Structure 1
Amino acid sequence: MGRETYTGDVAFEVRGHLGMITLNRPKALNALTQLMCESILIQLQDWAEDPTVAQVLIRGAGDRGLCSGGDISSVYRDMLEHQPRDGGGLLPESTPSYAAAMPAEEFFAVEYRMNLTIAEYPKPYIALMDGVVLGGGVGVSAHGSHRVVTERSRVGMPETTIGFSPDVGGTYLLPRSPGNTGLHLGLSGIHLTAADAIFTGLADTFVPSEALEELTQQLTEHPVDEVLPRYAKHPGDSAVEQDAEWIDAAYSAGTVEEILVELEQHSSSYPGAQQAAAALRAKSPTMLKVALEAIRRGAQLSLSGALAQEYTIAIHALRSHDFREGIRAQVIDKDRTPRWNPGQPETVDEDLVAHYFTPVPGKLLSLE
């Protein structure tokens, strides 16, 4: 019998020596709310001190995936209440919007603290990255010690699609992928297969989805390092690895504009480069530049430093036109036709990009 501690949008249970976290919003593809992140953070802290819990596992309810990211519909409602609907760029820091507290700020703060707790967890943390694992889903899995993908896995950081920048520690993980593949993932937002996720360092082990239930049962009784190798299979070939040559060449360029030129020059020889160029053209020009800078800076940062930087970016993004417009186009109205402002990379002011990295007094992320 298991020991159940809480059931709601996230469920916790202890089976044998395994602490189990189940993201339990299958109709919303297990998107994370602030309460879910707070609950996971508190439970992880409790289990870290519980001698009866030897290891922890996280999984998603339903058959569609682990987690599609954060609940950005609530973030959108928050932005509507705190900023005008016209204009572009960022609101000045002197406006009441910057001084006022926004509930979404606390959501990001709690989520990022949870990400760091997972990365520093003193016990094995096993993530079943089956199905869709996007954005915040990467945050609850890719920082773990044992990251399991399946033939159904679709892993990605698609934040630039909604006018945001990779977060949940993505700017720490992505620059540590081979070559420039992390830049490609962070800017284009492509979905990775199991083999791609393992190649880029976002996952470790391929296990067929049909074996996950048996694997989980074995983990209730035996250590993960003893059990997992028995279920591991070869993930197949990675398309990202096969494309690494043109990815490294194109993303070595200094700016977004130059990257686009390089991608288009490679398009005649590599269909993937053509697809990447088209993908980048559809993203927020401002956030492409912010993401490029954030990922490059992240190569020199610790995870806590990257999360603090991401929080500063988030504070500014919550006051921006493009983040609100991106969510509207992709999630609210679903017309898939965002009207970015500025509309082209060439017209994005470099001072605007730099502003996203400028800490706002009173709105800094404490990870102590």
Structure 2
Amino acid sequence: MTNTNDLLSKVQGGIGWITLNRPKALNALSLDMIRNLTQLLKEWETNSSVNAIVIQGAGDKAFCAGGDVRAVYDAKKSGDLETCDAFFREEYTLNAHIHSYPKPYVALLDGIAMGGGLGVSVNGSHRIVTERALLAMPETGIGFFPDVGATTFLNNVPGAVGLYLGLSGTHLKAEDALWAGLATHFLSSTCLSSFKKDLEQGKPLEDTLTAYCREPQEKGFLEHHSDVIDMHFSKSSLKEIIESLATDPSPFAQNTYNTLTSKSPTSLAVVFRQLKEGKTLSFLARMKLEFRLSQHFVKGHDFMEGIRAVLVDKDRLPRWKPPRLQDLSDRDIDTYFAQLNERELEFGRPA
């Protein structure tokens, strides 16, 4: 077993096993973890004794709660813009590598999986959720945007539900993740230990999945509400979506309206355009777009304010600038999509 403190790895039963090992931080991804994970995947890609990858989180709470954006915040505060560039550049390059990985890549989502945690799971070939799984892309609540490949995987969700998820940051249970295509298999947490033991003993992956995985017993929130979500979120502008929700007295609409109006107006406007324009782009073009957005957000006000309010001071009272959608112009949003010229994200290998 290789031990790099925050990332554990071993090869057993023809499987390359990876454990994200920061349980006290809910296994949030640091830049060092991103680099070590990237190196492992490159090595195992050409290792004939590794037939598949399994990635999991340490502890009993989380697979991975996201990228370590607090570290990005601290770097920006200290004027270390190189780290702000490197973190997202290397994270998105890793996400693209996982997306095109030539071997089965199995993520065990038994607990919290959010933000960057979805980047190192949903982009892979197999995403197994247990009844303890809780997935989300909550970035609009910290003045950011759904990244790590979300321009692709949210656009693959049926109807307008992906836009709803990207704007609202709604938390998804196992049934929702399966319906939305973010997960591929359901496994009871009580069977997880036996499932892993069988893989360690060299039993074939697909046979083991067939033996253990089952359909969930109930429909989830998204399936029950997909029609009303489509009705509101298929509107042609963000303003129309919010007006539609505001005039609908149903509990779903009012709760969603209140949720959206608590988010960063800049984030909402950028995400609406990101997901609409991203529909026609290739996967790599979407990743390049996300890097462009990340760098403009890091320079802006709302990302730093959102991190302050949620992770630093923890008062959960962000003071967005501007505070209202109607105070944003098209030109304001255009700046987030501006080219980075020589700093554009480039991929040195096919992905």
Q: TM-score, normalised by structure 1?
A: 0.92
Q: What's the offset of the Cα at 1:260?
A: 0.8
- Give 1:18-167 correspondences, 5 Å limit: 18-82=15-79, 101-167=81-147
Shift of 1:219: 1.7
- Whether 1:257 aligns to 2:236 is no
Identity of aligned residues (%): 41
Deviation, structure 1 residue 16: 1.8
CA distance in 2 between counterparts of 1:21 and 1:365 reads 27
> What is the total number of aligned residue pairs between the two structures?
346
1:15 equivalent among 2, 12, 16: 12
Counterparts of 1:229 and 1:50, CA distance in 2: 26
**SS of alignment partner, residue 155 of structure 2:** helix
Partner-residue secondary structure (3-state), 2:78: helix
Structure 2 distance, partners of 1:112, 1:44, is 14
* Cα-to-partner distance string for 1:303-332 (whole Å, 9 max, x where unaligned): 211110000001101100000000000110
Deviation at 1:105, TM superposition (A): 0.9
- Which structure 1 residue ranges, 5 or more long, are not aligned? 83-99
2:223 matched residue in structure 1: 241
Distance in 1 between residues matched to 2:117 and 2:81, nearest whole Å: 26
1:215-294 residue pairs with structure 2 within 5 A?
215-220=195-200, 221-235=202-216, 236-266=218-248, 268-269=249-250, 271-294=251-274
Contact 2:139–2:146 (8 Å) recurs in 1: yes
Q: Distance in 1 between matches of 2:241 and 2:314?
A: 28
Which segments of 5 or more consecutive residues in structure 2 lack a partner in the other structure? none
Tell me the equivalent position of 1:314: 294
Q: CA RMSD in A?
A: 1.1
Please report how far the alpha carbon of residue 80 of structure 1 lies from its aligned counterpart in structure 2 after TM superposition: 1.5
Normalising by structure 2, we get a TM-score of 0.96
Distance 1:176 1:297 in 2: 14
Q: CA deviation at 1:27?
A: 0.2
Q: Is the 8 A contact 1:176 1:299 kept in 2?
A: no
Shift of 1:254: 2.2
Q: Residue type matched to 2:64 in 1?
A: C
Residues 245 and 254 in structure 2, CA contact (< 8 A), matched pair in contact too: yes
**Residue identity in the other structure for 2:280:** Q
Secondary structure in 2 aligned to 1:283?
Answer: coil
| One-letter amino acid matched to 1:254 | S
Among residues 144, 163, 174, which one is paired with 1:183 in the alignment? 163
Alignment-mate amino acid for residue 244 of structure 1: S
Q: In structure 2, what is the Cα distance between the partners aligned to 1:309 and 1:253?
A: 23
**Matched residue, 2:176:** 196
Change (3 A) 1:210 1:7: farther
Contact 1:256–1:345 (8 Å) recurs in 2: no
Whole-Å Cα distance in 2 between the matches of residues 125 and 313 of structure 1?
Answer: 27
In the alignment, is the contact (CA less than 8 A) between 2:85 and 2:295 conserved in 1?
yes
